Amino acid sequence: MFSRIEENPAEALVTFLFEGRPITARAGDSVAAALLLAGVATTRTSPVSGAPRAAYCMMGSCFECLMVIDGAADRQACLTPVADGMVVSRQLPLSGGGS
């Protein structure tokens, strides 16, 4: 599990909703990093077997971090910066992902 190396009280924080649960992150974190720090293990399931998947590359290559963000499916959580009030959920076979 990831944690911050040092907390900086001067840092701007944002709060977003992950499946109904408020999560506070540092402004500048990607959604994928913020979720890793909050201990959320999976971002989506495999449409083939249903197996859980998680962010793998954190640089936009693997597409394992596809999530539903503010109502839009297939968003790459590792490329999306967190924002106040953002609504995030895991991408499951019925969330309308094109994958």
Q: Which residues bind ligand FES (CB under 6 A)?
A: 32, 55-58, 60-65, 76, 78
CB 35 within 8 A of CB 2: no
Number of residues that bind other proteins (CB under 8 A): 43
Contacting residue, 19, 24, 70, 72, with other proteins by CB under 8 A: 72
* Closest CB to other proteins among residues 10, 85: 10
Q: What's the min distance (Å) between Cβ of 1 and other proteins?
A: 6
Q: What is the DSSP string of 30-69?
A: BHHHHHHHTT---SEE-TTT--EE---SSSSSS-TTEEEE
* Closest CB to other proteins among residues 22, 98: 98
Print the binding letters for residues 32-71 with other proteins: x by CB under 8 A, - otherwise: -xx-xx---xx---x-xx-xxxxxxxxxxxxxx-x-----
Q: Can you read off the two tokens belonging to residue 90?
A: 């895991």
The rounded distance, in Å, linking the Cα atoms of 61 and 7 is: 30
